[in-house]
Amino acid sequence: MNNWIFRSTTVKTSVRRTRSAFFFYQLPTSQIGFFMVLASTVAVLLTAMPTEAGTTGAPRQASKPAMGNVQNGKLVFEIQGCNKCHGSEGEGLATPGQKGAVPRIATTSLALPTFIQQVRKPAGQMPPYSSQKVSDADLADVYAFLQTLTTKPVASNAANPKEGQRLFTTYGCYECHGNLGQGSTRTGGSRLGPPQIPLSGFVSYVRQPNGEMPPYASKVVSNQELADIYSFLQSIEQPPPSNTIPLLNQ
């Protein structure tokens, strides 16, 4: 019974956030700014309310983004779509340095002003976010949220690729990604083998995917099992170039 009560509470929170995101997608751009202001206002009010930890956040001024509200930061992170490129836990989506890579930003080493400056005028392919689109206060909250995402070891034991292959099949990963993680345009399952993201990002995505993939909660797949699966994917050899296969050059 207690589980049901707890579960319902969790779902309710999730619904509110998702609807917020959906709501913004439906709006003309001209109205998004208004609602972002409204969201900021709500965020300020939320900050003033007692949090789960029992603290009370003081109303903040945009010019003084010293301390951030983690809860609002996560909300802004998702509404603004930061998670779409950087991953739901800021882990990045490809090995840094590669073309198209998105850097890991969890536990950013940048100072807050530099972080805000980077968001306003990004150096790479990231689109700029103006202060009309997201305020300094909200960015401070995002910053605070990112600071909570400390990279934790996902597995304590040595990973077992053979066990990983078994789990990859048993837990249905192959259904969308193919038996060797080759992916499929039809299922939407991306190519996994060998993986292009670090283990932490892999685990983070599996737990809370931002696309079509169904989530694998820790209740049904442990971090150790995910590490085994990851090691299986790592063990898959790179295939030969297509120009060495005559059937692929006809």
Partner 1 sequence: MTKVKSPSLKRRDFLRGATAGAAVLVTTPGAPGKPLTANPRTGPPPPMSHKAEVEIPSVAEVLTADRTGSDFMVDVIKSLGIDYVCANPGSSFRGLHESVINYGGNKSPEIITCLHEESSVGMAHGYAKIEGKPLLVFAHGTVGLQHAAMAVYNAYCDCVPVYIIAGNIIDATKRMPPVEWSHSVQDAAAMLRDYVKWDDLPISLTHFAESAVRAYKIAMTPPMMPVLLIADGELQENSIPNDAKLSVPNLVLATPPQGDSAAVSEAARLLAAAENPVLIVDRAARTPAGMALLVELAETLQAAVIDQAGRLNFPTRHPLNQTERGRDAIANADVILGLELNDFWGTIHSFRDQMQRTSRPITKQGAKLISIGSGNLFFKSNYQNFQRYSELDVDIAADAEATLPALIESVKRQLGTRGKSALQDRGARLATAHQQTLQNNREAATYAWDASPVSTARLCAELWGQIKNEDWSLVCTTGFVSRWPQRLWAFDKYHQFIGGSGGYGIGYGAPSAVGAALANRKHGRLSVNIQCDGDLLYAPGVLWTAAHHKIPLLTIMHNNRAYHQEVMQVQIMANRHSRGIDRAKIGTGIDEPSIDYAKLAQGLGLYAEGPISEPKEVGPAIRRAIEVVKRGEPALIDVHTQPR
Q: Does 239 bind partner 1 (CB under 8 A)?
A: yes
Q: How many residues belong to the site for partner 1 (CB under 8 A)?
A: 46
Which of 41, 130, 184, 222 binds partner 1 (CB under 8 A)? It is: 184
* Residue 57 beta carbon to partner 1: minimum distance, rounded to whole angstroms: 28
Q: Does 180 bind partner 1 (CB under 8 A)?
A: yes
Per CB under 8 A, the segment of 107-115, 127-135, 142-150, 185-193 that binds partner 1 is 185-193
CB 65 within 8 A of CB 136: yes
Mind giving me the DSSP string for 155-213?
-SSPP-HHHHHHHHHHTTHHHHH-TTS---TTT-PPP-SS-SS-HHHHHHHHHS-SSSS
* Residue 129 beta carbon to partner 1: minimum distance, rounded to whole angstroms: 17
Q: Name residue 56's beta-bridge partners.
A: 50
Q: Does 171 bind partner 1 (CB under 8 A)?
A: yes
Q: Does 186 bind partner 1 (CB under 8 A)?
A: yes
Q: Does 211 bind partner 1 (CB under 8 A)?
A: yes
Give the position of tokens 């995002």: 142
Residues in 46-105 at the binding interface with partner 1, rule: CB under 8 A: none
Q: Does 14 bind partner 1 (CB under 8 A)?
A: yes
CB of 109 or CB of 249, closer to partner 1:
249
Per-residue exposure over 21-37, b if at least 16 CB sit within 10 Å of its own CB, e if not:
eeebeeeeeeebeeebe
Tell me how far apart the terminal alpha carbons of the chain are, to the nearest angstrom. Answer: 63
Give the position of tokens 């890579």: 101
CB of 113 or CB of 215, closer to partner 1:
215
Residue 57 has which token pair? 């956040």
Q: Does 172 bind partner 1 (CB under 8 A)?
A: yes
Kindly report the number of other CB atoms within 10 A of residue 90's CB atom.
Answer: 25
Q: Does 5 bind partner 1 (CB under 8 A)?
A: no
Which of 59, 100, 127, 214 binds partner 1 (CB under 8 A)? It is: 214
Which of 147, 151, 182, 235 binds partner 1 (CB under 8 A)? It is: 182
Q: What is the DSSP letter of 239?
A: P
Q: Name residue 50's beta-bridge partners.
A: 56
Q: Does 2 bind partner 1 (CB under 8 A)?
A: no
- 203 CB-near residues (< 8 Å, 6+ apart): 154, 223, 226, 227, 230
Q: Which residue ranges make up the site for partner 1 (CB under 8 A)?
A: 11, 14-15, 18-19, 21-22, 25, 28-29, 170-172, 174-176, 178-187, 191, 193, 211-212, 214-217, 219-221, 239-242, 245, 247-250
